[in-house]
């Protein structure tokens, strides 16, 4: 089937805010609507009917089942713009970029917005399972005695609310505890992690200083920059922090400084065909090339090779093979910093001959990368990580980096809860 090129026209996000801070009173819909409206304002899309808007949130109230469509209706886009919600944990908005780009490629849409939003501060709180069961039984009851009997089963302890947790449902371990196992198995040191974390903060601060984000970020509720950013972050200061994950181990290495904090925020990317962009005199920053997803058996699999956040390690070689590329054929690498150790374990795996042979089926490892091309304007350790917003943040950032350079190719790698990974390639247009 002949396909068309999907191009990245631009992006917009609100500054990311540490949880229970500046955006404590804002809902997912508030943040997504503001982000869409910022994108609309930046590219003059008021009243425009787009092919579709695809977005999602990881932490979502049940009433927000139509979050994206509701946000479109409240935005300045034409109300005739269709929308739908998706959810793939931290891979959500990279997946939404893939979906929009694919529809454009096969001719089912000429334009679209891919986005994501998350709030930890305005998290949904549910009733306990015991109370929920009792209320549903009472609702099913056909007469008063049966209803009273159902309600009588309610115990005081049922009244405690059920708050969402970031533990994996099948293992009961938090993402940090999972990563702590992977970190040790791959022998990632504290020093390496703190160096990566410091670089993330320094790179993000430098990018803000030179105005790189001026056309990527719209202020929101008084924030103009990500408030997790610590421009003065250094390896020495990070070394002072106490470990927070893997504390049962002899030498735990993961701290609050080299792990991503809980964050609120939203990000969006505008995609279209070259013709659609040209008709509206819009810029073309980059073209979407290809994407791949992978998953690992983090529950029963190998402690080293099947870590919860290791799925991108498997997705990237498949993506490279399909596109006839090597790992060294990239000018920029955007590897999501769920934890500094996630990035380092990913890079270590690609250089490990045994792992590459046994698990990736490669005669030779993918090899190392030029670290000066990694997360050059900072990543999630510095910006923070509103789960579903991270992919769109990265795509817009990378597209602008490629556009500024005028040539080249970038690789995106995002790990996600549930042992999944979403990776993609974009090139300067």
Partner 1 sequence: MSQPEPESAPRSVALSMAKGVVRSLPLARVRSGRAALSPDLVLRTGPQAIDQARLAAYQRVCGARVSDVLPPGYLHVLGFPLAMARMTQADFPFPLLGLVHVVNRTSQHRQLTLADRPRLAVHAANLRPHRSGQQVDIITEARLDDALVWTETSTYLCRGRREERRNFPQEPPNSPQDPPNSPQERHGVGIRFQVPADVGRRYAAVSGDRNPIHLSAMSARLFGFRRAIAHGMWLQARLLSCFEGRLPDQFVVECEFRKPVPLPGDVRLIETRPALRPSSRFFELQGSRDGRTLVTGRLEDRSLSAEAPIGQA
Query: Both tokens of residue 284?
Result: 């073309």
Which of 41/151 has CB closer to partner 1? Answer: 41
Least distance to partner 1 from the beta carbon of 386, Å? Answer: 16
Q: Please give the size of the binding site for partner 1, defined by CB under 8 A.
A: 18
Q: In angstroms, what is the minimal distance from the CB of 74 to partner 1?
A: 4
The verdict on whether 178 is a catalytic residue reads no
Cβ(6)–Cβ(428) under 8 Å?
no
d(CA 3, CA 288): 12
User: Using CB under 8 A, which of 10, 11, 17, 30 touches partner 1?
Assistant: 30
Distance of closest approach, residue 187 Cβ to partner 1, in angstroms:
46
Rounded CA gap, 406 and 331, in Å? 11
Candidate residues 135, 137, 206, 221; the one interacting with partner 1 per rule CB under 8 A = 221
C-alpha 329/C-alpha 312 separation (Å) is 17
- Check residue 19 for interaction with partner 1 (CB under 8 A): no
Per-residue burial over 281-296, b = 16 or more CB atoms within 10 Å of its CB, e = otherwise: ebbbbbbbbbbbbbeb
Residue 71 CB, nearest approach to partner 1 (Å) = 9
The contact mask relative to partner 1 for 167-196 (x = CB under 8 A, - = no) is: ------------------------------
CA 22 to chain centre: 20
Q: Under the criterion CB under 8 A, does residue 33 sit at the interface with partner 1? A: yes
Nearest to 95 by CA among 395, 334, 337: 395
Query: Smallest distance, Å, CB 114 to partner 1?
Result: 20
Quickly list DSSP for 43-107.
HT-TT---SEEEE--SS--GGGTTHHHHHHHTSSS-TT--EEE--BTBTHHHHHHHHHHHHHHTT
Cα(173)–Cα(59) distance, integer angstroms? 18
Instruction: Say how far apart CA 375 and CA 333 lie, in whole Å.
Output: 6
Instruction: Tell me which residue of 423, 425, 407 sits closest to 415, measured CA to CA.
Output: 423
Residue 44 in the binding site for partner 1 (CB under 8 A): no
| CA–CA–CA angle 215, 96, 125 (5° rounding) | 95
74 to 103, contacts with partner 1 by CB under 8 A? 74-77, 79
- Nearest 5°: phi and psi at 404? -65, -40
For partner 1, the closer CB: 70 or 352: 70
Selected range binding partner 1 among 21-29, 209-217, 291-299, 307-315, rule: CB under 8 A: 21-29
Q: Of the listed pieces 2-10, 48-56, 70-78, 371-379, which binds partner 1 according to CB under 8 A?
A: 70-78
- Which one of 20-28, 123-131, 276-284, 344-352 is the stretch in contact with partner 1 (CB under 8 A)? 20-28
Return the range that interacts with partner 1 (CB under 8 A); candidates 22-30, 104-112, 233-241, 411-419.
Answer: 22-30
Beta carbon nearer to partner 1, 38 or 246: 38
Given 12, 27, 192, 390, the residue binding partner 1 (CB under 8 A): 27
**219 is an interface residue for partner 1 by CB under 8 A:** yes
Contact present, 17 and 23 (Cβ < 8 Å) = yes
Given 25, 106, 148, 187, the residue binding partner 1 (CB under 8 A): 25
- Cα 137 to chain centroid, rounded: 39
Residue 90 is among the residues annotated as catalytic for this protein: yes
Give the single-character DSSP code of 262. P
Closest residue by Cα to residue 34 from 277, 222, 207:
222
Least Å distance, CB 60 to partner 1, is 17
Residue of 178, 336, 385, 403 marked active site: 385
- Sorted by sequence, the CB contacts under 8 Å of residue 104 that are 6+ apart come out as 4, 6, 51, 110, 111, 112, 271, 272, 273
The CA angle 255-256-258, to the nearest 5 degrees, is 65
- The kind and range of the H/E element at 412 are strand 409-416
**125 interacts with partner 1 by CB under 8 A:** no
Residue 403 annotated as catalytic: no
Q: What are phi and psi of 177, to 5 degrees?
A: -70, -40
Question: Of 29-37, 145-153, 209-217, 396-404, which part binds partner 1 (CB under 8 A)?
Answer: 29-37
Of 90, 178, 201, 403, which is the active-site residue? 90
Smallest gap from residue 139 Cβ to partner 1 (A): 22
Shortest Å distance, C-beta 263 to partner 1:
17
Q: Just list the catalytic residues.
A: 90, 385, 415
Q: Footprint of partner 1 on this chain (CB under 8 A)?
A: 22, 25-27, 29-30, 33-34, 73-77, 79, 219-222
């Amino acid at each position: 089937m002949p396909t068309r090129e999907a191009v990245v026209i631009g992006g917009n996000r609100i500054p990311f805010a540490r949880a229970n801070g500046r955006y404590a009173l804002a809902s997912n819909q508030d943040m997504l609507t503001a982000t869409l409206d910022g994108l609309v304002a930046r590219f003059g899309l008021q009243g425009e009917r787009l092919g579709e808007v695809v977005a999602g949130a990881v932490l979502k109230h049940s009433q927000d089942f139509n979050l994206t469509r509701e946000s479109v209706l409240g935005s300045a886009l034409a109300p005739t713009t269709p929308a739908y919600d998706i959810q793939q944990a931290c891979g959500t908005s990279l997946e939404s970029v893939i979906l929009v780009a694919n529809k454009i490629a096969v001719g089912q849409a000429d334009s679209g917005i891919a986005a994501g939003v998350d709030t930890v501060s305005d998290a949904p709180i549910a009733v306990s399972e015991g109370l929920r069961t009792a209320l549903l039984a009472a609702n099913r009851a056909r007469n008063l005695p049966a209803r009273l009997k159902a309600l009588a089963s309610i115990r005081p302890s049922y009244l405690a609310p059920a708050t969402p947790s970031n533990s994996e449902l099948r293992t009961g371990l938090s993402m940090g505890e999972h990563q702590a196992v992977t970190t040790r198995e791959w022998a990632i040191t504290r020093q390496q992690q703190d160096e990566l974390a410091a670089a993330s903060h320094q790179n993000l601060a430098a990018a803000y200083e030179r105005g790189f984000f001026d056309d990527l970020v719209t202020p929101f509720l008084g924030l103009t920059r990500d408030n997790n950013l610590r421009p003065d972050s250094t390896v020495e200061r990070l070394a002072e922090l106490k470990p927070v994950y893997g504390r049962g181990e002899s030498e735990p290495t993961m701290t609050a400084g080299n792990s991503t904090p809980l964050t609120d925020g939203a990000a969006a990317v505008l995609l279209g065909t070259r013709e659609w962009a040209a008709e509206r005199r819009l810029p073309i920053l980059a073209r979407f090339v290809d994407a791949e997803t992978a998953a690992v058996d983090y529950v029963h699999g190998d402690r080293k090779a099947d870590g919860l956040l290791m799925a991108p390690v498997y997705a990237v070689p498949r993506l490279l093979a399909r596109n006839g590329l090597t790992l060294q054929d990239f000018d920029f690498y955007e590897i999501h910093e769920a934890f500094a150790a996630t990035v380092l374990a990913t890079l270590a795996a690609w250089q490990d001959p045994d792992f590459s042979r046994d698990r990736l089926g490669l005669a030779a490892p993918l090899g190392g990368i030029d670290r000066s091309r990694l997360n050059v304007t900072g990543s999630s350790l510095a910006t923070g990580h509103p789960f579903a917003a991270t992919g769109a943040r990265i795509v817009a950032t990378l597209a602008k980096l490629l556009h500024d350079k005028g040539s080249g190719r970038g690789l995106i790698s995002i790990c996600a809860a549930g042992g999944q990974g979403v990776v993609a390639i974009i090139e300067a247009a």
